């Protein structure tokens, strides 16, 4: 299945990735016994009794995920009580704690700043929108639940950071395909530039520019986690125009100093893209050419060496019809 990952952080100090799941529960006291954490088996059983089937599947997925330290933070609205469960597969250790907000904030800021001050630019402030409406709409369709709303913990994250620059980032959609043994990271990029279309939109237009608002670290982080997992990185360009096709970029190469160096590009209507995601959500073939039915365009390093010129006319020229 496809899931959102609320927060990912790489700590250079210990060379480990952390995957965070923030989950609001209706009654946090049901997860404890006399204000103490029960056994691990009892805890997960109690949790599963109060969350949805989709949430159960996501928790099970994260529990089985062995490529990062998993951190679960459970909370109840308007209650100063939090449960942190940390599972470290590298030492086969599980840590659980019941904390108040101040205690959780101290721990969270400590981990966020574990690498201290550096000359490299961090990921900046947590994003303004607490919920990505387009991604959440896709999840409603994928999960066949019109009431679904992803709890990404962004409001809580902002409060915990208390103004610190975040060293974490989220994964809009994340998938493990059992039949091909591949991980896929999906990043959704809403086009704000009114002078280009979704086909022409590209991260290299506003990243690796040496400007104050350069956003290259986001793509470096996404590329690094996909490489760490031996997976694939797909960028989805979309806009508010429902009649405009979306364009998909599978990043095939990235140089941290130069930017994207190779990609394969696809273009399809929103309706077709949603259908493709539904197919991917239940993909069972051993063939990992997930886009075999779609026209593609490939761009190599020589193309990106002169992207400032190629973006004007050549980039996306293979897809002439952007509207349906």
pLDDT over 90 (residue 152): no
β partners of residue 255: 259
pLDDT over 60 (residue 109): yes
pLDDT score, position 128: 54
Confidence of residue 119 (pLDDT cuts 50, 70, 90): very low
Domain limits of the chain? Answer: 2-112, 178-313
pLDDT score, position 150: 81
CA distances to 64, 262, 306 from 219, in Å:
26, 14, 20
pLDDT score, position 121: 44
- How confident is the model over 211-264, as pLDDT tens digits? 988 999 999 999 999 999 999 999 999 999 999 999 999 999 999 999 999 999
pLDDT score, position 147: 86
Pairing status of strand 246-255 against strand 232-238: antiparallel
pLDDT over 60 (residue 122): no
Chain centre to alpha carbon of residue 55? 16
- Mean pLDDT confidence for 151-168: 93
CB–CB of 4/152 below 8 Å? yes
pLDDT score, position 131: 62
Confidence of residue 324 (pLDDT cuts 50, 70, 90): confident
Could you tell me which residue, 125 or 276, shows the higher pLDDT? Answer: 276
| DSSP helix/strand/coil, 128 | coil
Residue 98: count of CB within 10 angstroms of its CB? 17
CA torsion through residues 182, 280, 171, 154, sign: negative
């Amino acid at each position: 299945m496809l899931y959102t990952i609320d927060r990912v952080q790489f700590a250079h100090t210990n060379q480990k990735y952390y995957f965070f799941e923030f989950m609001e529960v209706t009654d946090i006291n049901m997860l404890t016994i006399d204000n103490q954490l029960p056994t691990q088996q009892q805890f997960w059983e109690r949790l599963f009794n109060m969350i949805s089937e989709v949430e159960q599947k996501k928790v099970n997925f994260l529990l089985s995920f062995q490529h990062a330290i998993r951190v679960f933070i459970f909370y109840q609205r308007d209650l100063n009580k939090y449960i942190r469960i940390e599972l470290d597969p590298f030492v086969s250790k599980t840590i659980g704690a019941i904390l108040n907000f101040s205690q959780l904030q101290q721990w969270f800021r400590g981990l966020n700043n574990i690498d201290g001050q550096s000359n490299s630019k961090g990921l900046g402030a947590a994003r303004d929108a607490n919920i990505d409406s387009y991604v959440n709409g896709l999840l409603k369709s994928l999960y066949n639940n019109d009431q679904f709303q992803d709890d990404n913990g962004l409001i809580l994250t902002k409060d915990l950071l208390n103004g610190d620059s975040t060293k974490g980032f989220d994964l809009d959609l994340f998938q493990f395909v059992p039949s091909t043994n591949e991980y896929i990271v999906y990043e959704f990029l809403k086009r704000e530039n009114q002078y280009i279309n979704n086909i022409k939109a590209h991260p290299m237009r506003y990243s690796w520019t040496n400007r104050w608002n350069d956003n290259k670290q986001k793509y470096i982080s996404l590329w690094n986690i996909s490489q760490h997992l031996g997976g694939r990185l797909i960028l989805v360009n979309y806009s508010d125009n429902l009649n405009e096709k979306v364009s998909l970029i599978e990043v095939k190469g990235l140089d941290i100093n130069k930017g994207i160096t190779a990609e394969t590009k696809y273009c399809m209507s929103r309706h077709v893209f949603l259908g493709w995601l539904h197919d991917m959500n239940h993909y069972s073939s051993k063939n990992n050419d997930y886009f075999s039915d779609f026209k593609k365009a490939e761009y190599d390093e020589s193309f990106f060496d002169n992207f400032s010129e190629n973006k004007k006319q050549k980039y996306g020229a293979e897809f002439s019809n952007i509207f349906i």
